[in-house]
Amino acid sequence: MASGTVDIRVEDHVAIMTVSRPEKLNALDLEMLRALSDAADEVEANAQVRAAILTGEGRGFSAGGDIKAWGGMQPQEFGHAWVRHGHRVFERLATLRVPLIAALNGHALGGGLELAGVADIRIAEEHIKIGLPETGLGMVPGWSGTQRLVKRFGAQVVRRMALGGEMFTAEEARLLGIVDAVTSTGTVVDAAKEYAGRVAERGPAALEIVKLMIASASGEDNGTAVEALGSILAAKTGDLKEGVASFSEKRPAKFKGEW
């Protein structure tokens, strides 16, 4: 079975992650999930990156989960190795410290739409289609299609796709709030670069904090967002410096309540 990678290049503080399995319309298998997770780690670790773009190579953004990769799995393996593993990878992308822009150069169906849903901003080429066709296969959306997508797009929109099998054009998706902008065919990566460039000009710390605050307010990531914000704040204080110093020097700490 042909598999692929996620290619990464950094231009002017913007990381461009390209899902590269064009012969399968960038359908995801276990190797591709691992590649997405590794790409997220690499982008996260690069202090020069202030915004990121996620797109697909060739004619598709992502056709979703590769049926050949999961169709023969036993139920327990399917639940653990496929669904739960996919959740972890998608959550990793959704919680990148930098704003993530999905550049939809081709159809985003099923898991491909769930992948696009992890992004903070979505820009789509005018020819694409968007949908959640899983119930037509006797399956349900498994990578937060009924969870994250409901929070971000609204329950009724997800009902129309998941229950009614509706496919939306890029312009229909824009009017429904699934994508934020529509561009002509062949230009979405340039449009995403322009948007990411504007993002990258803003304060990196402020961007990270605002992203966490929005996640908390939307109910997507309450616990970890609050803990991350609290940890960042505590790490800036004089009390932490004193606590670390007293531990190293084996003496009682003399806290002053310094922020």
Q: Which of 2-11, 99-108, 215-224 has the lowest mean pLDDT?
A: 215-224
Active site residues: 114, 134
Helices 222-235, 238-249: inter-axial angle, 10-degree rounding: 70
Report pLDDT for 83.
Answer: 80
Give backbone dihedrals phi and psi of 154, rounded to 5 degrees, phi first. 105, 145
pTM over 0.85: yes
Token readout for 104 is 């939809």
- Any bridge partners for residue 121, and if so which? 101
What is the token pair recorded at 193? 């670069």
Bridge partners, residue 38, by sequence: none
Is residue 76 over pLDDT 90? no
CA 205 vs CA 25, 26, 200, 202: distances in Å: 36, 33, 11, 9
Report how far residue 34's alpha carbon sits from residue 39's, in angstroms, rounded to the nearest whole number. Answer: 9
Contacts 24+ apart (CB under 8 A), 222-226: 224/95
Confidence of residue 223 (pLDDT cuts 50, 70, 90): low
**pLDDT, position 105:** 97
Model confidence at 3: pLDDT above 60: no
pLDDT digits (tens, 9 = 90+) for 94-121: 999 999 999 999 999 999 999 999 999 9
Mean pLDDT calculated for residue range 13-38: 93
pLDDT tens, residue by residue, 144-166: 889 999 999 999 999 999 999 99
- 202 or 29, which is more confident: 202
Residue % of the chain over a pLDDT of 70: 97
Cβ distance 90 to 143 under 8 Å?
yes
End-to-end alpha carbon distance in the chain: 56
Q: What is the pLDDT of residue 245?
A: 87
What does the radius of gyration of the chain's CA atoms come to, in whole angstroms? 20
Q: Kindly state the percentage of the chain with pLDDT values over 90.
A: 63
Q: How far is CA 253 from the centre of its chain?
A: 42
CB 1 within 8 A of CB 32: no
Q: Quick check: 101 and 192 in contact, CB under 8 A?
A: yes
As a whole number of angstroms, the distance between CA 60 and CA 37 comes to 20
Would you state the pLDDT for residue 1?
Answer: 39
Residue type, 189: V
Please tell me the distance from the alpha carbon of residue 130 to that of residue 181, in angstroms, as a whole number.
Answer: 14
